[in-house]
Amino acid sequence: MKALPALFAAICVAAPASAVAATTILPGYWESTNRLLSPIKQSKTEKRCITPADVDKFLAGPSNRHYACTYPTKVFSGGKITLKGTCVSKKGRKVAVKGSGAYTPTSFNLTAEIATEFLGLDIAGKASTEARRIADVCPPPEPKSEASAQ
């Protein structure tokens, strides 16, 4: 069960890649909130710099260190997001994923439903990601302190 939050994080950010980044979201400084809605509740907000080269990566979503995700159905068109696929853990556990949402050049939201079997029990869950562009330009990186440089 410990890996479920990691799966939900991967799924929430794992929207499909776009063919042309300019038609989806704009690069810049973004704030995103990933929420695990069920079977347990968790929330994490983070800020990140999305460069032009990072747009597709952000939309495609990283398969995190726990799960590799593929989406045979992935549509990013007309401001709408649709995806359907599977995430597989390093131990081979498969999780069905189905998600939908919306995007503008400065916002992104996705809600995903998952279904898997664990120890003979069917487990279903729901997660979401909401993101918004908070600045055109990313802040400069924080200088490293002497303690971290040593």
Domain boundaries, given as residue ranges, for the chain: 4-149
CA distance 46 to 97: 23
CA distance 74 to 79: 13
Cα–Cα dist 102/130, whole Å: 10
Q: Determine how β-strand 67-77 pairs with β-strand 121-135.
A: unpaired
Token pair belonging to 121: 């029990």
Q: Determine how many CB atoms are found less than 10 A away from the CB of residue 33.
A: 15
Tell which phi-psi region holds residue 55, choosing left (phi > 0), alpha (psi between -120 and 50) or beta: alpha
Q: Which of 64, 57, 62, 115 is nearest to 86 (CA)?
A: 115
pLDDT at 57: 74
Measure Cα distances from 134 to 5, 29, 41, 49, 138 in Å.
Answer: 26, 6, 26, 10, 9
**pLDDT tens sequence for the chain (150 residues):** 444 444 444 544 444 333 334 468 899 999 999 888 888 898 999 999 999 888 877 776 545 567 788 888 888 889 998 989 888 888 888 888 899 999 999 998 999 998 887 777 888 889 888 999 999 999 988 787 665 555
Instruction: Determine the pLDDT at residue 147.
Output: 56
